[in-house]
Amino acid sequence: ILSYFTKSHHFYTSSNIYHKDLYKAGDIKGRLKSANELSAIFGKKGVSNTNKIVIYDNGKGKYAGRIYWILKYLGCKDVKILNGHLTAWESARKPITKNPSSRKKAVFTASVNKAVLATMADVKSGSYVVVDVRGAGEYNGTEGKTARKGHIPGAKNFDFSKVMSQGKIKSNSELQSMFNAAGITKDKKIILYCTTSVRAGVVFMVLKTALGYPNVKVYDGAFNEWIATASNKVEK
């Protein structure tokens, strides 16, 4: 079991990996390091690509979702997110500890799954339904900290938080109804993004794994990369 946030309480057998340690340096924040670098980080923490992996975070879902997508991108087969995260674990009166835990180093061998990674060229191709999973204020350009505000032209808005209720993922029937109403249907090829695509991960998990959508990608460069190219237009 792995936790992916900084908190004083955790499971007895968990490893802790801070999601920002997985990103490369540079002006465009949030883009992934190379597969070899990521493999080394996970392996050092005692995580193998052959492990059964359960991810949890502080209950917001976005950090666990980001790591979920990263692990699926790296080719891990057996990855799950703990529904309700640490709050649900504590509510069930399961044991937690403040003591640091560690696992022996492991061999993590990445088998990159490019089918779940979108590039800027994919976004521009017109072949996908592009979905912005930020809040309405960021999407409309009235909120946010980015240098240029708004959204990628033509993108639909679906706030990632809508997939959860009180920290847990909603039922498949509720989820499917919401996505159908938003025009995000199984017959479409879909690209998800936010500012750094942290929030996109949990929506990826819901669409791909819970609902069985066949064609879902995450734009890892996300809005930060999009606006770094001056010729890329932004809508509000």
What residues are annotated to the active site?
194
DSSP annotation string for 44-106: HTT--TTS-EEEE-SSSSHHHHHHHHHHHHTT-SSEEE-TTHHHHHHHTT---BSS-------
Q: Is the dihedral of CA 88, 105, 47, 196 positive or negative?
A: positive
* Residue type (1 letter), 92: A
Kindly tell me the burial class for residue 155, based on how many C-beta atoms sit within 10 Å of its own C-beta (0-12, 13-18, 19 or more).
Answer: buried
Residue from 19, 58, 26, 60 nearest 41 by CA: 19
* Residue 195 token pair: 């500012």
How many Cα atoms are found within 13 Å in the side-chain-facing hemisphere of 156? 17
Cβ–Cβ under 8 Å, residues 82 and 202: no
Residue from 145, 106, 142 nearest 227 by CA: 145
At 122 the three-state DSSP class reads helix
